[in-house]
């Protein structure tokens, strides 16, 4: 007969409630982002160095600054893309190698800014700037990330589904920021942490995608639309009832994502137990055969 489990947190015999995910769970510091922002500052002297030197020199300085700023922006975007890539178990490489293009733009900007001495100096300084950029920030991820033993078709399906889900979460972040309510911003971040924990479970076992697709698509699309509508309504009058309704929706969504995640983890554990039992049976049979051969 099935028996309910009890414990310290379930005196009535019900299952203990899973702890809520922290908004910072699984997040790592954006390594290199501060250095990328400093590149914008490094290009500022170009705006003032050619004042009074004539229209030609000023135009070259402006173009050089624009290239340096473009390189800094591409580098920062590339760092964000790499951090998102490294945070996932299954991921496709960034479609655009932003850090590489950023290094090229920076090299062109530095080369153009140093052409006043000689063409060779401009070329050399540009190459040095490009090499130093790649040394400091590295290259973009060049290979898709996949689990060992999982075919490419399954990997692509999971990667596409998670990419779509991440777009919904980013849209939620942009929408809730317009509300100006720090409490609700933090509440949305907590729900997103729960959703991303669910993503990692699906990535670890792509077979779960079939049963999880509704959560990755329909539910998150609904959450995004609700967030957009809430932000617009709440910004108009700060109605507490609107805030309470939206908070209740997030609570329900988070509870459902947590329950589904626990169910998938339990299924995965069951599959592992079955594989372990099968392997033990095979080892025992093999041992018996060896004994009989002796």
| 169: pLDDT strictly greater than 90 | yes
Residue 7 pLDDT grade (very low, low, confident, very high; cuts 50, 70, 90): very low
**Is 17 among the domain residues?**
no
- Find the domain containing 133 and state its range: 33-137
Is 277 a residue whose pLDDT tops 70? no
> 206 versus 106: which is more confidently predicted?
106
Looking at the structure, tell me whether residues 130 and 252 fall in a common domain. Answer: no
CA–CA gap between residue 104 and residue 177 (Å, rounded):
34
Max avg pLDDT among 32-46, 181-195, 263-277:
181-195
Q: What is the pLDDT of residue 27?
A: 52
Question: pLDDT tens digit string along 38-74?
Answer: 888 888 888 777 666 677 778 888 899 999 999 999 9
- Flag the least confident range among 78-82, 221-225, 235-239: 235-239
Query: What percent of the residues of the chain are helix, what percent strand, and what percent coil, each to the nearest 5?
Result: 75, 0, 25
Give SS3 for 91: strand
* Ranges of H-type helices in 88-151: 98-113, 119-137
Mean pLDDT, residues 206-228 taken together: 88
pLDDT of amino acid 129: 93
Q: Are 164 and 288 within one domain?
A: yes
Rounded Cα distance between 259 and 54, Å, is: 68
Residues forming a β-bridge with 10: 7
Rounded to an integer, the average pLDDT of 150-175 is: 85
Give the pLDDT score at 125: 92
Q: Quick check: is 50 in a domain?
A: yes
Residues 87 and 183 occupy one common structural domain: no
Same domain, yes or no, for 181 and 254? yes
CA distance 118 to 108: 15
The pLDDT assigned to 244 comes to: 92
More confident residue, 25 or 187: 187
Query: Is there a domain that residue 200 lies in?
Result: yes
The mean-pLDDT minimum among 30-44, 61-75, 118-132 falls in: 30-44
143 in a structural domain? no
Residues 162 and 284 in one domain: yes
pLDDT averaged over the chain? 80
Residues 66 and 169 in one domain: no
Range in 55-69, 101-115, 148-162, 267-281 the model is least confident about: 267-281
Read off the pLDDT band of 287 (50, 70, 90).
Answer: low
Name the one residue in this structure whose structure tokens are 């991921």: 91
Confidence bin at 250 (pLDDT 50/70/90)? very high
Structural domain includes residue 12: no
Q: Residue 71: name the closest of 154, 10, 163, 134 by CA.
A: 134
| Cα–Cα distance for residue pair 105/215, rounded to 1 Å | 41
Rounded mean pLDDT of 105-130? 90
Boundary residue ending a domain (86, 107, 137): 137
| Structure token digits, residue 142 | 């060049």
* 123 and 186 inside one domain: no
Say whether both 241 and 283 belong to one domain.
Answer: yes
Whether 49 is covered by a domain: the verdict is yes
Last residue in a domain, options 137, 162, 184: 137
Structurally, how many domains does the chain consist of?
2
One domain for residues 224 and 127: no
3: left (phi over 0), alpha (psi -120 to 50) or beta: beta
Select the more confidently predicted residue: 198 or 48: 198
Domain boundary among 104, 137, 170: 137
Q: Confidence band (pLDDT; 50, 70, 90) for 128?
A: very high
The 10s digit of each residue's pLDDT in 138-147 is 999 888 776 6
pTM of the model: 0.61
Q: Would residue 5 count as lying in a domain?
A: no
pLDDT band per the 50, 70, 90 thresholds, residue 245: very high
Asked which of 23-27, 120-124, 281-285 is least confident by mean pLDDT, the reply is 23-27
Decide which of 17 and 163 is more confident: 163
> Does pLDDT of 148 surpass 80?
no
């Amino acid at each position: 007969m099935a028996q309910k489990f009890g414990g310290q947190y379930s005196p009535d015999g019900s299952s203990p409630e899973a702890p809520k995910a922290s908004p910072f769970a699984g997040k790592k510091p954006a390594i290199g982002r501060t250095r990328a922002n400093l590149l914008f500052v490094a290009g500022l002297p170009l705006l003032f160095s050619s004042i009074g030197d004539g229209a030609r020199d000023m135009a070259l300085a402006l173009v050089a600054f624009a290239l340096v700023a473009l390189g800094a922006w591409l580098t920062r975007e590339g760092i964000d893309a790499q951090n998102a890539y490294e945070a996932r178990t299954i991921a496709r490489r960034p479609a655009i190698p932003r850090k590489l293009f950023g290094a090229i733009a920076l090299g062109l900007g530095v080369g153009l800014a140093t052409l006043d001495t000689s063409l060779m100096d401009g070329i050399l300084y540009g190459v040095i700037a490009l090499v130093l950029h790649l040394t400091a920030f590295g290259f973009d991820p060049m290979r898709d990330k996949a689990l060992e033993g999982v075919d490419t078709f399954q990997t692509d399906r999971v990667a596409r589904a998670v990419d779509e889900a991440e777009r919904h979460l980013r849209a939620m972040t942009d929408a809730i920021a317009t509300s100006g309510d720090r409490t609700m911003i933090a509440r949305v971040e907590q729900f997103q942490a729960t959703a991303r924990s669910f993503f990692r479970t699906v990535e670890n076992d792509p077979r779960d995608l079939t049963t999880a697709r509704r959560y990755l698509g329909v539910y998150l699309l609904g959450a995004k639309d609700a967030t957009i509508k809430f932000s617009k309504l709440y910004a108009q009058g700060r109605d507490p009832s609107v805030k309470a309704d939206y908070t209740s929706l997030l609570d329900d969504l988070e509870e459902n994502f947590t329950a589904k995640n626990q169910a998938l983890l339990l299924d995965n554990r069951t599959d592992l137990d079955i594989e372990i039992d099968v392997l033990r049976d095979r080892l025992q049979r093999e041992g018996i055969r060896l004994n009989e051969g002796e």
